[in-house]
Amino acid sequence: MAPTSLAPDRAHARLHELTVIDVRTHGEYASGHIAGAHNIPLDHLDAAVPVLKSAAERGDLVMVCASGARSAQACATLTAHNIPAATLTGGTIAWSRHGHDLHRPTDARGVWPMDRQVRFVAGSLVLAGLAVGQRRAAARWLSVGVAGGLVYSGISGSCAMARVLAKLPLNQPRAIDLDATLAALAAMGQ
């Protein structure tokens, strides 16, 4: 059974024997990922359970995201299905900080990482609430709501805004991309 977390240097040393699953959005994955990683966004993970179960029977799975939060959620989901998986400690951010390369396809479209998208939208909503609040005091509640959501996100480790933003078309994999990823994972065992 795989350990529950794997440090970047240890994962790098074992990369040839690991099946790496990147659970970030398609846009984030395209902006830079561990070479050989398969992209299955977190919100599509349930559809991939049968293929991931088969892959885990062949070797260790390592789940990856930007910081380690979404990959830990992915590991919890897989554990609920009796599929052993580890999370890359610190995600691709730590991977890069340890001097390991990220693969960036030349034809990839530039999509901001999810944490940057959340900061942009949250900041914009707070500013809009304050600006409109100059004329209509009730609009300030928008700023209060966003601030409360950010505090809850920090405490709970989950982010409702990120879940909503992940559903935007720019963050979605094309169906053929996800199907191709699942087919490639299934073919690895044959």
Residues with a catalytic annotation lie at 65
- C-alpha span between 59 and 9 (Å, rounded): 19
Residue 77 is encoded by which pair of tokens? 């989901």
- C-alpha span between 107 and 85 (Å, rounded): 31
